[in-house]
Amino acid sequence: MKKCDELRKATDKKDAVPLVTELKASIKLVDGTLRKCAAIWAAIIPNMSIKEILKILPKLYKYGFLKKDKTMNVKISEILTTSSKVIECGIHPMEVFIQMKNFEAGGKRIDPKLLQHLVAEKNLSEEEVAKLKSPVQIKSPTFINTIQKCMNISINNVKSTNKRFLITVDATNKMDTPCIGNRNISSVEAAAAFIWYFLRTENHVTVAVFKESEIEVIPMDKKLQIHEYAQKIKENENEYLVVSSPIEWACKTKKKIDVFINFIHHNEYHSTIPKDVKEKMKKPVEVLKNYRQKLTLPDAKLINVCFTSTRMTIADGSPNVLDIAGLDSEMPKVIEAFSRGHFC
């Protein structure tokens, strides 16, 4: 406790650095005047987890510590690209992707409701509001490449479920809308990242896009990058979608699927469906029940991911049907656990 107090009171880096090293202290114990000091961060970084390091990268970049010729750049790059360290920490590739997008954007965007509160309570200037709304984008392709390497290594942290997946993506122009929970990522980017992740961790993955009342299967090369998957989705733009169409397609073609995953932008998709199509539509849960019976797959599951709305109402309490809203680092783990049947 005595040394912790000494560290809190230290205002000279010569006194603080040895204490940080000895105590394996976090930045929270360091006096505010030293929190932009490279020597302090150099002492703290080795004691941080990869998850913690990824979260603070935008801050370190703004402090100027991640330039090519900086020692800290080399040190952090080594941590993020050492296979044993990435695997030991168990970080999920989708979590690395989320942090990479936050780094590219200069930090996580502020929640609109929090911004509204700050404007009302703190009397912020227009310049301050503009900074909060739009962090300065980071131009560091070399370091972004380092994070991508970390993401590639982290694929080894995921074990295949050995399930058969049909991933169907909303290809309307609304998919450019930012995700709830991670506004630096558009819905189409999130869907593309999931395709990238599933194709590298699962052996049986079919990818499709919604095509009005039907779907169209899109061949996807496992070697493509996330932005290339996003481009393929955009090339197949459609006017509207019917959520049950992937199940109907699998039923018609007798394709055995264990888990149907739908990635859509918003629950308002229903309002764009033509009246004559609506009149013939069945509820997705009913279509799934029919599919289970017809193909003798009683445990077939349906996951509906709505990136930009919390008001998803496809799941009605029926077993093996799940609605997910937004995007965060825990979401891929929820999908994996549900696919394995851990919710039932």
Confidence of residue 136 (pLDDT cuts 50, 70, 90): low
Residue 306 clears pLDDT 90, i.e. is over it: yes
Report pLDDT digits (tens) over 254-271. 999 999 999 998 767 777
pLDDT band at 19 (very low <50, low <70, confident <90, very high): confident
pLDDT value at position 144? 92
- Mean pLDDT (whole number) for 81-105: 96
**Cα→Cα distances 27→16, 21, 23, 60, 313, Å:** 11, 12, 11, 12, 43
Tens digit of pLDDT for each residue in 220-250?
A: 999 999 999 999 999 999 888 999 999 999 9
Rounded mean pLDDT, 157-169: 98
The residues spanned by each domain of the chain are 160-339
Mean local confidence (pLDDT), 136-147: 84
Distances (CA, A) of 234 to 41, 129, 210, 252, 268: 42, 32, 12, 26, 20
pTM equals 0.89
The residue among 315 and 59 whose pLDDT is bigger is: 59
> Is 218:236 a contact under the CB 8 Å cutoff?
yes
Q: Which amino acid is at 50?
A: I
What's the mean pLDDT in 141-149? Answer: 93
CATH number of 160-339, picked from 3.40.50.410, 2.60.120.200, 3.40.50.10880, 3.40.50.620 = 3.40.50.410
pLDDT at 3: 82
Predicted local confidence at residue 124, as pLDDT = 66
Residue 117, pLDDT score:
67
73 pLDDT above the threshold of 80: yes
| Mean pLDDT of the 157-177 span | 95
**DSSP H or E run through 165:** strand 164-169
Do the Cβ atoms of 265 and 187 come closer than 8 Å? yes
Say if residue 305's pLDDT is above 90. yes
Q: Which residue has the higher pLDDT, 279 or 112?
A: 279
What is the structure's pLDDT at 236?
A: 94
Q: Are 25 and 46 in contact (CB under 8 A)?
A: no
Contact 206, 255 (CB under 8 A): yes
Say if residues 98 and 330 touch (Cβ distance below 8 Å): no
* Residue that wins the pLDDT comparison between 56 and 107: 56
Residue 154 has pLDDT above 70, yes or no: yes
DSSP 22: H
pLDDT at 301: 97
